[in-house]
Homo-oligomer: A and B are copies of this chain.
Amino acid sequence: MTSEKLLSDFKVVLKKEGLKVTPQRIAVLEEIIKDKGHRESEDIYMAIKIRKTHVSRATVYRTLDILVQNGFARKLNLGDGRARYETKIDSPHHDHIICNECGKIIEFVNDEIEKIQEEIAKQYQFKLQQHIHQLFGLCKKCQ
């Protein structure tokens, strides 16, 4: 998606929700799509802070919520008490392998696993809504 399209989509969403277009919100959006990584709120805050717009941590958190709620970003829980955020734009579903040593994160998808998950949910009469699937270990370098 072009960044013009994205920005206009974001503005439409904000309008729809009765929210205003502010420099801070644009900055967080730009930051989340610029980097394909899995970053903490603090990283995004620092990146915006250093490069341009005046922003506060509170506003970063508030804006990240808006992005997550409206399909622009995903929030990840890696079990260490700090949320990670990644762009959802042009980024299909995937899960993660995380290195316990250096923190490196690789994305993976496996259709077979996705299918089995559905079967398991059916077996227990659950209606599946989301899932978390994370593999932890040592990457090649850290072994």
Contact = CB atoms under 8 A, between A and B. Distances in A.
Contact of A113 (B79, B116, B139): B116
B143 A137 contact: no
Interface string A70-113: 00000001010100000000000000010110000010101011
Contacts of A125: 139-140
Contact of A106 (B97, B124, B137): B124
Taking the full assembly, how many copies of this chain does it contain?
A: 2
Contacts of A139: 124-126
Nearest to A135: B131
Given A126-B138, A128-B136, A131-B134, 14 more contacts: A77-B79, A97-B124, A106-B124, A108-B120, A113-B113, A117-B135, A124-B139, A126-B137, A128-B135, A131-B136, A132-B132, A132-B134, A133-B133, A133-B134
